[in-house]
A and B are shown apart, each in its own frame.
Chain A
Amino acid sequence: MSLTINLTVNGNTQSATAEPSTSLLDFLRDTLNYKGTKLCCNTGECGACTIIYNGKPINSCVTLAADANGAEIVTIEGLADGDKLHPVQQAFIDTGAVQCGYCTPGYIISVKVLLDRTKEPTPEDIEEAVSGNICRCTGYTKIVDAIQLAADRMAGRS
């Protein structure tokens, strides 16, 4: 059996069908062609598949596509304003917080949600916000630097 799923992705209304067992991640990547969100552990542990679901960061690999019916989804493709990158994206580039880049979309989504909530994140806020995202290449120092830089820029401090 297949289900019809009506949802909003990055502000655009979409409709497509999915099998009941399909994950939201596979639905976004393979059916709707949003390839920016990454498949990595596929068990909800690494955070590479993080998207914003009705305002909250979730792991799309362990969420049913069926549960996205009627939902508002934001993926990494929805952050830039035309050619102008989102401040979090720009900060990751400027601090060199990227090596292979596979975990990066998940990090940037988690950080965007954090900075939408607070312009002055504490070190504890930052740690909590990205504790569900794993990077296997870098140390985490530059990622934390990037988050701080993005926070400063978004608050007009830098």
Chain B
Amino acid sequence: MDYFEPKTITEALSVLAKYGEHANVIAGGTDVMVDMKYKEEPGCLVNIKKIPGLDTIQENGASLQMGPLVTIRDIETSRLVRERLPLLWESCHQFASLQIRNTATIGGNICRASPSGETLAPLLALEAKAKLAFRDGEKTEAFISFFQGPGKTSLGSKGLLTEIEIPYPPKGSHGVYLKHAVRGAMAATLACAKLGAVYLPIFSGYAADAVATRLQDAEATVLITADAGNSSLQDVRIALGAVAPTPIRATKTEALLRGRSLTAALVKEAATLAASESSPITDQRSSAEYRGWIVEALTRRGLEQSWKAASGKEVV
């Protein structure tokens, strides 16, 4: 196996161009190392940790810019993230174990494109964007189109993620990140959903073959924005994780809720619809049917909790 420690993005891209699909990029290594031991060694390992400048969190106007080498622990211990992006903070706080959080990077979690990647549903709910570098130039892409399937992203084998831009949610929005997992610290996301303006990320247990280990049952992220009088939902974003081949936005559910006043009956209808928008699988951790129930429950709780945070009132 060949091995490179490029010092610049340009250098890394030229190695990727040379080795194509035989190259694996490694950062924290918490997933790649396991693959190398139990699957196949790549033809070439490209360790990007020596590229300077990719490990910072910076505020830029009403958004945060994060380098791909920022560790999950860096995010968890960032006051800025905790205050401005509590959905992302919560997903990192609930991420695996302390040992893993100390090495795993947000770029790795993203580029791994596991359906159950903890940070992915929050990033969808927050409408974050990826800055991607290719040999013929850079481009910026929303994460909603960046994730193409389990382990598949629009980077292909030729590009590098160089920055993550996360806009602050609208003023007055409230959200919640909910994860249903067997063992708190180490379970991967089973299902993840997110609602916006009420933003709700929900993850519910989709294990692709490539990522079959370390799965959770479900995750949901809900983010809502109530109108000025707290009488209706101005905006709702619901992102679900681990319940489809990629993290998804429950767009039909969002459309159902937008502009409406939240009642117990509407919450029930929305939760059922969100479950129908997911397409979980059955694996050794849970059945598809069970994961559907989890999506329903997490969506309901996400909406109720977000509404309470927004309006101070219970949904009735």
Which of B21-51 touch A at CB < 8 Å?
26, 29-30, 33-34, 36-38, 41, 45, 47, 49
Q: Which residues of A contact B213 (CB under 8 A)?
A: 43
Q: Which residues of A contact B185 (CB under 8 A)?
A: 131-132
Q: Which residues of B contact A1 (CB under 8 A)?
A: 1-3
A32 CB to closest chain B CB (Å) equals: 19
Which of A117-158 touch B at CB < 8 Å?
128-129, 131-133
Q: Which residues of B contact A131 (CB under 8 A)?
A: 97-98, 184-186
Assembled-state Cα–Cα distance A131/B184 (Å): 8
Q: Which of B29, B41, B49, B97 has the most CB of A within 10 A?
A: B97
Q: Which residues of A contact B41 (CB under 8 A)?
A: 21
Assembled-state Cα–Cα distance A59/B103 (Å): 8
A59 contacts B100, C-beta separation under 8 Å:
yes
A132 contacts B97, C-beta separation under 8 Å:
yes
A59 contacts B30, C-beta separation under 8 Å:
yes
Q: Does A79 contact B (CB under 8 A)?
A: no
Which of A37-69 touch B at CB < 8 Å?
42-45, 47, 50, 53, 56-59, 61-64, 66-67
Size bracket of the B interface: 20 to 34
**Contact string against A for B residues 206-224, beta-carbon threshold 8 Å, 1 for contact and 0 otherwise:** 0000000110000000000
Q: Which residues of B contact A61 (CB under 8 A)?
A: 33
Size bracket of the A interface: 20 to 34
A47 contacts B37, C-beta separation under 8 Å:
no
A45 contacts B102, C-beta separation under 8 Å:
no
B1 contacts A132, C-beta separation under 8 Å:
no
Contact among A20, A57, A64, A128 with B102 in the assembled complex (CB-CB below 8 Å):
A57
Given A21-B1, A66-B5, A67-B47, A132 and B100 touching (CB < 8 A)?
yes
B98 contacts A57, C-beta separation under 8 Å:
yes
B19 CB to closest chain A CB (Å) equals: 14
- Which applies to chain A's interface (DSSP): helix, strand, loop or mixed? mixed
Contact among B30, B47, B96, B102 with A56 in the assembled complex (CB-CB below 8 Å):
B102
A63 contacts B33, C-beta separation under 8 Å:
yes
A20 CB to closest chain B CB (Å) equals: 3
Contact among A20, A44, A66, A110 with B30 in the assembled complex (CB-CB below 8 Å):
A44
Q: Which residues of A contact B5 (CB under 8 A)?
A: 66
Q: Which residues of A contact B60 (CB under 8 A)?
A: none
B49 contacts A20, C-beta separation under 8 Å:
no
B98 contacts A23, C-beta separation under 8 Å:
no
Q: Which residues of B contact A129 (CB under 8 A)?
A: 98
Assembled-state Cα–Cα distance A47/B97 (Å): 9
Q: Which residues of A contact B34 (CB under 8 A)?
A: 42-44, 62
Q: Which residues of B contact A42 (CB under 8 A)?
A: 34, 37
Q: Does A3 contact B (CB under 8 A)?
A: yes
Q: Does B99 contact A (CB under 8 A)?
A: yes
Assembled-state Cα–Cα distance A42/B214 (Å): 13
Assembled-state Cα–Cα distance A53/B29 (Å): 14
Q: Which of A20, A63, A110 has the most CB of B within 10 A?
A: A20
Given A44-B30, A63-B33, A58 and B99 touching (CB < 8 A)?
yes
Q: Which residues of A contact B186 (CB under 8 A)?
A: 45, 131-132
CB nearest to B3 among chain A residues: A20
Q: Which residues of A contact B102 (CB under 8 A)?
A: 53, 56-58
Q: Which residues of A contact B49 (CB under 8 A)?
A: 67
Q: Which residues of A contact B37 (CB under 8 A)?
A: 23, 42-43
Q: Which residues of A contact B33 (CB under 8 A)?
A: 23, 44, 61-64
Q: Which of B5, B103, B184 has the most CB of A within 10 A?
A: B103
Given A43-B213, A67-B29, A20 and B45 touching (CB < 8 A)?
yes
Q: Which residues of A contact B73 (CB under 8 A)?
A: 56
A42 CB to closest chain B CB (Å) equals: 6
CB nearest to B26 among chain A residues: A64
Contact among B3, B103, B214 with A66 in the assembled complex (CB-CB below 8 Å):
B3
**Contact string against B for A residues 93-111, beta-carbon threshold 8 Å, 1 for contact and 0 otherwise:** 0000000000000000010
Assembled-state Cα–Cα distance A57/B101 (Å): 10
Q: Which residues of A contact B30 (CB under 8 A)?
A: 44, 59, 62
8 A-B pairs with C-beta separation under 8 A = A21-B36, A21-B45, A43-B34, A43-B214, A44-B34, A59-B30, A63-B33, A131-B98
Q: Which 9 A-B pairs have the closest CB atoms?
A: A132-B97, A20-B3, A131-B185, A62-B33, A132-B99, A56-B102, A59-B99, A62-B30, A43-B34
